[in-house]
Structure 1
Amino acid sequence: MATQQIPVQGTEQEQRVVELSIQGMTCASCVARVERKLGKLDGVEASVNLPLESAVVRVPASVSDQDLIDTVVATGYGAHVVHPDSAGTGDHDSAPSLLGARLVLAAILSVPVLLISMVPALQFPDWGWVVFALSLPVVTWSAWPFHRAAAINARHLSSTMDTLVSIGVTAAFLFSAWQLFADPAMTRHAGMAGMETSALYFEVATVVVTFLLLGRFLEASAKHRAGDALKSLLDLGAKEAHVLRTVDGERTEVTLPANALIPGDEFVVRPGEKIATDGVVTEGASAVDTALLTGESVPVEVTPGDVVTGATINTSGRLVVRATRVGADTVLSSMGRLVSQAQSGKARIARLADRISAVFVPVVLVLAMLTFVLWLVLTGDLDAAFTASVTVLVIACPCALGLATPTALLTGTGRGAQLGILIRGPQVLEDTRTVDTIVLDKTGTVTTGTMAVDDVVVLSDIFATDLLRLAGAVEAASEHPIAQAIALHAAGNGRLPEAHDFSSAPGGGVRATVGDVVVTAGRTGWLDRNGIRPTGTQAAALRAAEDAGTTAVWVAVDGDVAGFITLSDTVKDGSAAAIGRLRRLGLRPVLLTGDNRAVALQVAATVGIDAADVRAGVTPAGKVDAIRELQAAGATVAMAGDGVNDAAALAQADLGIAMGSGTDVAIEAADLTVMGNSLEQVAQAIELSRRTLGTIKGNLFWAFFYNAVGIPVAALGLLNPMLAGAAMAASSVLVVANSLRLRSFGK
């Protein structure tokens, strides 16, 4: 996602979306600084993500990419624009490996420093100088990332958690070195203890650095795992395609990289191969495994004319596919962009943490100074005052606060992508918490959207099989879905006879000659136009069938009514279970449909929706009105739909949920998209959103609680700086580990 043109409402200026990779951020204060500085550019809005080390920036035409980079660099961080062909392919291994080397050195040297300093039996003559020598590489080279970041921020009159670490570690080391150089003989005697040695804090400086490096290394590893879901999603695509080319009048296969395909290219997909890009089947029939994108395990049968999606797997027959969308226009790429944008955004709850982090470090610096002064004034104990102030600096680092929201969001949206659930942005998570009513479009959402024959009702002396065969013969020439359903059902009983002299009326019916008889099939009005009048008894039978929730089609032979065929839109497998799951989530299901009330009530009864919560005969505009009516009554409404006629209602709802089997218009209008066509995925999507929001809240609670308890305890002198460093590192790792639990959702 390098640059994307988007209109800005109310102005003639256009904005583009630019993704920046940012190097050097370590905490929530860094994030707040970068966002604040970018936001000072005219018309620029930035959302910075700490775990992804990236920023998504909305930029007017008057601001160049270089302006953005210069602003970030001037703030004290590195930056470059992420281009589509390099997104996700950057090499970030060097930084973690260097971090690991610093950690290993710090750990190797800190252990003897700690043991010699704390265990009198291990001390030897002039041991202080040995400890000084062992500590020096740790507080310089190993701790260099903290010192460098602190220096950069100091040049810009700013501070971050690195400032706290750098000051604390440097103060402990320099104070100890000063004491040692002032009295070179203070550790001359082995096993020496007491007041003379209590002023040495080399073990504090080294162990704190080790713990913090360990925490940062574990964070980096955990954040890498948290992003694996998105990386695996983007890696799903096929790497090559067998493209058909005409050479010397013959079609031959040429193997090309998948990214070399252009719309209109035809390519071969053999059993077991991935489909290279989105397209339409032109030859062959097969079953396609769509589980990688939709999360559904049942393969989808495809034949010529059916649409297929790139990265899905051809399981059986040979297919020839004509490419329709390639590169950034494919469904897979769109999913990646939606997930990436969602991970880069911020929910309202995260903004609170950002505002606190912006003032947190300066406040802690003041608290540390006050702690030192008060201890010194009240007790006169320089060592105790120094220890307490350093402990405040070390324990207060706001790492956990900065990681609380983005790591949970990164993991939750990544896991959702693996399950075929796309969350458009972090605000959606909070919206799912407040929703109490879910409006479900019937056709394509609760039902399959495909008509199927239920029954053949004979009203004359003709056999049911003959009636169905004649109806199938005339309907086979029509493209209407109901006609196709009848023809398909009739063809299941054998080859259909040919029909001649075919005529039809849109929405009315069909008429043709089959053999030596004239067959007329359609609605009552179509029969009237052809001079055919059902008797009162016959009409009553058809009305009874329609009142039972079916669609009925008259069939007349040689001008006399022979019977009718009933059809219905079949309920999807799992819809009833999904409705029960939605109820357990505290949602009231409402069925919305343009069909007649009898059909709607039958579907509602099948899936477990109350009759009072059925809205039938609703137009697309009426769907919007129905949602507004519920909202006016105090409900917070989610809407699930899949068609163009659902787009306005999806936009009106407090939370719009699009079925991925639906139209692009519906998906664009929705806040949340499920890539499959199962209603159970809707329930799963709401569960995942709520679980992710719950994880974010849990992370923020523990991050705030840690600082609220840790800082006063440290200021009272009840905590050793080494334990403070361990606690600070542990809090960050705890937050990331808690977020990683979302990876097991749905397993």
Structure 2
Amino acid sequence: MSKIELSIEGLSCAGCVRRAEEAIAGVEGASEVSVNLATRRASLDLGDAGLEDVTQALTKAGYPARVESAVFVVEGMSCASCVGRVEAAVRGLEGVTEANVSFAAGELRVTYLERVVSEADIIAAVKSAGYAAVQKGTGPSAAERRAEEVHGLKRSFLIALALALPVFLLEMGGHIYPPFHHWVAGTFGQVNSWIFQFVLTSAVLIWPGRKFYTVGLPLLMKGAPDMNSLVAVGTLAAYSYSVVATFAPGLLPSGARAVYFEAAAVIVTLILLGRYLEARAKGRAGEAIAKLVELAPTRVEIKRGDAFEEADASDVRAGDVLRLRPGVRVPVDGAVTRGESHVDESMLTGEPMAVRKSEGDALIAGTVNGAGALEMMAEKVGADTVLAGIVRTVEEAQVAKLPIQALVDRVTMWFVPVVMGFAVLTLLAWLAFGAGIANALVAAVSVLIIACPCAMGLATPMSIMVGTGRGAELGVFFRKGDALQRLSDVRTVAFDKTGTLTEGKPKLTDFEALGGFEKAEALRFVAAAEQGSEHPVARAIVAAHEGAMPAAESFEAIAGQGVAAQVEGREVLIGTVRLMREQGVALDGRASALEAAGKSVSYAAIDGQIAALFAVSDALKPDAVATVKALHEMGLKTVMITGDSAAAARFIADEAGIDEVIAEVMPEGKLDAIRKLQEQGPVAFVGDGINDAPALSAADVGIAVGTGTDVAIESAEVVLMTGAPDKALVAVRLARKVMRNIRQNLFWAFAYNAALIPVAAGLLYPLTGWLLSPMLAAGAMALSSVFVVSNALRLKRA
């Protein structure tokens, strides 16, 4: 790569072009730099410069290179070492910034520089590593792919079973029932029996078992063996030895003339069985996503003129009016324009109670209309709906790499080559001790077959897939899979107050006119000024005023402190004690008693003179106390961070059972509070995802409380689809269960290999005379993967 083009963001004028060119030219080795404002592209000769240096220089200058993301379905991966090879091949492409493979989902997610790398380059890189890839969405759906894979493996297993069973009975039947051996020898003859086994075993290897050889052997030749290579080498060793014993017995010592056709045939059969069971279980792991995708209906009733016509859901556009009959699913996001009903939102929020909907209320795609008829206006359609966003979010979380996965990736990349080396050493050791070539072969083949990186590779992604899917069913969405690990490690859970622990619907409880103003006059000015604010306190004041009010001639929100407005030519200032003091407004001390009762107190000044003191009260959410208590029982510290006064905050905190209160802080002060708490350990912050953005970003895990239509899905790592604080408890519990499940899987996957590879090599033979059969090794290997997948599936009941 020498001559390249980059798409650049942020170019708006000739000055931007000059600064971008200077940034690139400043990178040593880059030459022939040209930036085009019309196409927003930069062309250059890289020379000796590194592409990463160029992109960093552009980012620093404020004109980052544009990146794209794509998802590919990867075929042919059979174990964890395949994951490492695919990732390494794609990351090796100049211009790829990130590449992550989910073995459980069979998907590759790539982020790359636009115009530097193409989808075709990525597919070619995957192919060079020995696998096939297609861009997601261009072929069959995930459900169709899974069904096809399961059906294919089932068919292969049944064919292999039908062919391998006679081989197994002919060779092993005499061990189970000795007279059977004499009957076979007397009826068919031993040589004819071996030839028959050769025919059937050859059919097993060539037909249902061919993938082990067509995939495994080429990768072995490339020096990048995978699980297929282990199976191919092990079964071919047993098969080849048996062919020599059958057709050229003179090449072997007289005491070593035995066949292992049954081992080769049964190994292939058992591994196919294991992969079939694994694929079936993996399909169940993705059920949560499949259910979400299926929530949106395919047919709708759209208003055309004065009548409603049935049409495809894909034909709906923003602004269309739709009719919802009783019992149908809502097809898109929008609002009720006519009618009244109850809507079941449990599939998205996890809440069992249906929600009453009437004119003006929001509707979410995928929810179910109850007994009433509704008309709605479509506002967000297709990929813009909350449901589509949730599906994308969960899919992205499921391919995330947890920090704990780094060790597994390092081990599995070298696992297969090390096992093959250990198998060779086993063979040589047995021959060196004069135990005979037959025993040496059995031990070496057993080592190859029993070693299973599949279980190690599935341990983490399967648990993530099932855990994030279960979270989606409960109304808890993990935007990033690694948030699971960080959330499981938190020591402190910090809450915002208004709208998180409290209902967020404060009511005006006290209003006292001061400074010679009449109460009605002061309330009229305050309500008029607050009309432009969306703050819950502002809505409470406006709701308390009766009658007409003038319009504010100007309005300014003062972050975290209050508002300033001009009403009927007079300057109105509303806000906290701090704001009043900063503006030089004289106050009295009447607020203390109200704050001690848990009320939030604010002041109003008109033309710089104190005009009113008022208080609002906001009730705790019903499950707030139980949530805090449960968090304490889990050993977690709870903190409330709020801009409210210390006395009012302490009252609410005591009512909820919160350990610590940090009050009277500005939005940026919340960030400082989070950083101070982090000195004691990892912190999760629960807030509304908009006003609390600094704290959400500073926390180890940001948990956004939403209502399902909130854009909070884009502002935190974990999103709760309802405002109930107990969903934060669900998120922490689920994260802990997922991490415990991952550790269980990793322990058994590593312990399995650590314990059984030496046994397969013959460690127990000097003590017991017992040597592990390759067939038992194949069965144990298959069961290890099935165990890991089955253990992960337990999370579906979490």
Same fold (TM over 0.5): yes
Of the three residues 385, 396, 402, the one matched with 2:457 is 402
Of the three residues 101, 115, 138, the one matched with 2:155 is 101
Tell me whether 1:414 sits opposite 2:469 in the alignment.
yes
Note the alpha carbon deviations across 1:256-310, whole angstroms, 9 max, x for none: 2222212222222233222211123333343332111011123333333333211
With normalisation by structure 2, the TM-score equals 0.79
Residue in 2 aligned with 1:190? none
Answer yes or no: is the 8 Å Cα contact 2:528–2:551 preserved in 1: no
SS of corresponding position for 1:253: strand
Aligned pairs (5 A) from 1:694-733: 694-716=740-762, 718-733=771-786
Shift of 1:588: 0.8
Residue in 2 aligned with 1:239? 298
Structure 1 residues 179 and 299 mapped into 2: Cα distance closer, same or farther (>3 Å)? same
Shift of 1:159: 0.6
Of the three residues 282, 299, 306, the one matched with 2:354 is 299
SS of corresponding position for 2:211: helix
Residue in 2 aligned with 1:575? 624
Of the three residues 81, 93, 117, the one matched with 1:29 is 81
Tell me whether 1:208 sits opposite 2:263 in the alignment.
no
Answer yes or no: is the 8 Å Cα contact 1:139–1:173 preserved in 2: no
Tell me whether 1:648 sits opposite 2:691 in the alignment.
no
Of the three residues 228, 251, 254, the one matched with 2:287 is 228
Of the three residues 672, 675, 679, the one matched with 1:625 is 672
**What one-letter code is carried by the residue in structure 1 that aligns with 2:738?**
T
CA distance in structure 2 between the partners assigned to 1:42 and 1:641 by the alignment: 40
Tell me whether 1:15 sits opposite 2:70 in the alignment.
no
Tell me whether 1:52 sits opposite 2:99 in the alignment.
no
Note the alpha carbon deviations across 1:599-631, whole angstroms, 9 max, x for none: 212211121113xx1112221111111112222
SS of corresponding position for 1:571: coil
CA distance in structure 1 between the partners assigned to 2:683 and 2:102 by the alignment: 30
**What one-letter code is carried by the residue in structure 1 that aligns with 2:94?**
D
SS of corresponding position for 1:440: strand
Shift of 1:455: 8.2
**What one-letter code is carried by the residue in structure 1 that aligns with 2:291?**
S
Tell me whether 1:42 sits opposite 2:94 in the alignment.
yes
Answer yes or no: is the 8 Å Cα contact 2:528–2:567 preserved in 1: no
Residue in 1 aligned with 2:369? 314
CA distance in structure 1 between the partners assigned to 2:565 and 2:112 by the alignment: 56
Tell me whether 1:278 sits opposite 2:333 in the alignment.
yes
Answer yes or no: is the 8 Å Cα contact 1:115–1:122 preserved in 2: no
Residue in 2 aligned with 1:684? 730
Structure 1 residues 450 and 171 mapped into 2: Cα distance closer, same or farther (>3 Å)? same
Residue in 2 aligned with 1:463? none
SS of corresponding position for 2:328: coil
Answer yes or no: is the 8 Å Cα contact 2:528–2:552 preserved in 1: no
Of the three residues 600, 603, 619, the one matched with 2:652 is 603
Cα RMSD of the aligned pairs, angstroms, is 3.7
CA distance in structure 2 between the partners assigned to 1:445 and 1:432 by the alignment: 18
Answer yes or no: is the 8 Å Cα contact 1:660–1:675 preserved in 2: yes
Aligned pairs (5 A) from 1:30-429: 30-44=82-96, 45-61=98-114, 62-83=116-137, 88=142, 90-118=144-172, 119=174, 120-123=178-181, 124-125=184-185, 126=189, 127-183=193-249, 199-246=258-305, 251-429=306-484
CA distance in structure 1 between the partners assigned to 2:387 and 2:8 by the alignment: 20
Answer yes or no: is the 8 Å Cα contact 2:364–2:709 preserved in 1: no
CA distance in structure 2 between the partners assigned to 1:240 and 1:264 by the alignment: 17
Answer yes or no: is the 8 Å Cα contact 1:284–1:319 preserved in 2: yes
Answer yes or no: is the 8 Å Cα contact 2:386–2:708 preserved in 1: no
Shift of 1:252: 2.0
SS of corresponding position for 2:468: helix
Tell me whether 1:545 sits opposite 2:597 in the alignment.
no
Answer yes or no: is the 8 Å Cα contact 1:642–1:662 preserved in 2: no
Aligned pairs (5 A) from 1:438-517: 438-452=493-507, 479=531, 485=540, 499=547
SS of corresponding position for 1:93: helix
Of the three residues 710, 720, 734, the one matched with 2:787 is 734
**What one-letter code is carried by the residue in structure 2 that aligns with 1:433?**
S
CA distance in structure 2 between the partners assigned to 1:544 and 1:92 by the alignment: 65
CA distance in structure 2 between the partners assigned to 1:564 and 1:442 by the alignment: 22
CA distance in structure 1 between the partners assigned to 2:719 and 2:549 by the alignment: 47
Tell me whether 1:673 sits opposite 2:719 in the alignment.
yes
Answer yes or no: is the 8 Å Cα contact 1:164–1:397 preserved in 2: no
Shift of 1:17: 0.6
**What one-letter code is carried by the residue in structure 1 that aligns with 2:100?**
S
Answer yes or no: is the 8 Å Cα contact 2:303–2:322 preserved in 1: yes
Note the alpha carbon deviations across 1:172-231, whole angstroms, 9 max, x for none: 1121121011249x9xxxxxxx98686211221122112111101100000001111111
Answer yes or no: is the 8 Å Cα contact 2:296–2:331 preserved in 1: yes
Answer yes or no: is the 8 Å Cα contact 2:67–2:112 preserved in 1: yes
Structure 1 residues 286 and 417 mapped into 2: Cα distance closer, same or farther (>3 Å)? same
**What one-letter code is carried by the residue in structure 1 that aligns with 2:204?**
V
Residue in 1 aligned with 2:22? none
With normalisation by structure 1, the TM-score equals 0.84
SS of corresponding position for 1:445: coil
Structure 1 residues 430 and 643 mapped into 2: Cα distance closer, same or farther (>3 Å)? closer
**What one-letter code is carried by the residue in structure 2 that aligns with 1:634?**
Q
CA distance in structure 1 between the partners assigned to 2:366 and 2:486 by the alignment: 31
Structure 1 residues 15 and 575 mapped into 2: Cα distance closer, same or farther (>3 Å)? same
Aligned pairs (5 A) from 1:551-590: 551=600, 567-590=616-639
CA distance in structure 2 between the partners assigned to 1:53 and 1:524 by the alignment: 55
Percent identical pairs in the alignment equals 38
Answer yes or no: is the 8 Å Cα contact 1:647–1:665 preserved in 2: no
Structure 1 residues 100 and 483 mapped into 2: Cα distance closer, same or farther (>3 Å)? closer
**What one-letter code is carried by the residue in structure 2 that aligns with 1:412?**
G
CA distance in structure 2 between the partners assigned to 1:455 and 1:710 by the alignment: 75
Moved more, 165-174 or 280-289: 280-289
Structure 1 residues 253 and 85 mapped into 2: Cα distance closer, same or farther (>3 Å)? farther
Answer yes or no: is the 8 Å Cα contact 1:39–1:46 preserved in 2: yes
**What one-letter code is carried by the residue in structure 2 that aligns with 1:732?**
S
Structure 2 residue ranges without an equivalent (≥5) = 1-6, 11-54, 514-518, 556-562, 569-573, 581-586, 605-611, 766-770
SS of corresponding position for 2:495: strand
CA distance in structure 2 between the partners assigned to 1:318 and 1:394 by the alignment: 62
Answer yes or no: is the 8 Å Cα contact 2:288–2:470 preserved in 1: yes
CA distance in structure 2 between the partners assigned to 1:524 and 1:15 by the alignment: 45
CA distance in structure 2 between the partners assigned to 1:303 and 1:487 by the alignment: 23
Answer yes or no: is the 8 Å Cα contact 1:647–1:666 preserved in 2: no
Moved more, 646-655 or 540-549: 540-549
Structure 1 residue ranges without an equivalent (≥5) = 187-193, 459-466, 491-497, 513-521, 529-535, 556-562
Higher relative contact order structure (alpha carbons within 8 Å, sequence separation ≥ 6): 1
CA distance in structure 1 between the partners assigned to 2:709 and 2:689 by the alignment: 6
CA distance in structure 2 between the partners assigned to 1:6 and 1:677 by the alignment: 37
**What one-letter code is carried by the residue in structure 2 that aligns with 1:78?**
A
